[in-house]
Amino acid sequence: MDDGQSADGLVILTAKISDPSLREEFWHHMENLCGERVTSSIYEFSIADWDEGLWNDEIQWMSEFLEGSRAAVIIWEFDRGKYSRFSMGWDS
């Protein structure tokens, strides 16, 4: 019996945010996406049933939120048996 789940739509992100207030605001926002906080710096959720464009809105929010913060987020997005990985932040 296969207990596995489809990875299509799965998003896993890890964040390195040293500023406590920014970190709290970021994770508060992420936890409202109905996913699961795996560790203090890793979050996973599914966008498989999201309306078109909502994920792009979230990426835009993260990009704007991280701008100039020296924080970093790495995202893995799974779709149709493949995945893409990208990062945001690390402004110096």
Alpha-carbon distance 77 to 92, whole Å?
Answer: 26
| Confidence bin at 6 (pLDDT 50/70/90) | confident
| Measured CA distances, 62 to 4, 5, 12, 82, 89 (Å) | 30, 27, 14, 23, 9
- DSSP line for 14-58: EEE--SHHHHHHHHHHHHTTS-EE-SSSEEEEE-TTSPTTHHHHH
pLDDT in tens, 10-32: 999 999 999 999 999 999 999 99
Higher pLDDT, 80 or 25: 25
Q: What pLDDT, on the 0 to 100 scale, is given for residue 80?
A: 87
User: What is the residue extent of each domain of the chain?
Assistant: 10-89
Between 3.20.20.150, 3.30.70.240, 3.30.160.270, 3.40.190.10, what CATH number should domain 10-89 receive?
A: 3.30.70.240
| Confidence bin at 36 (pLDDT 50/70/90) | very high
Alpha-carbon distance 78 to 76, whole Å?
Answer: 7
Q: What pLDDT, on the 0 to 100 scale, is given for residue 92?
A: 43
With a pLDDT cut of 70, the percent of the chain lying above it is 93
| Pair of tokens at residue 77 | 């997005």
| Phi and psi torsions of 66, nearest 5° | -80, -15
Single pTM value for the model: 0.84
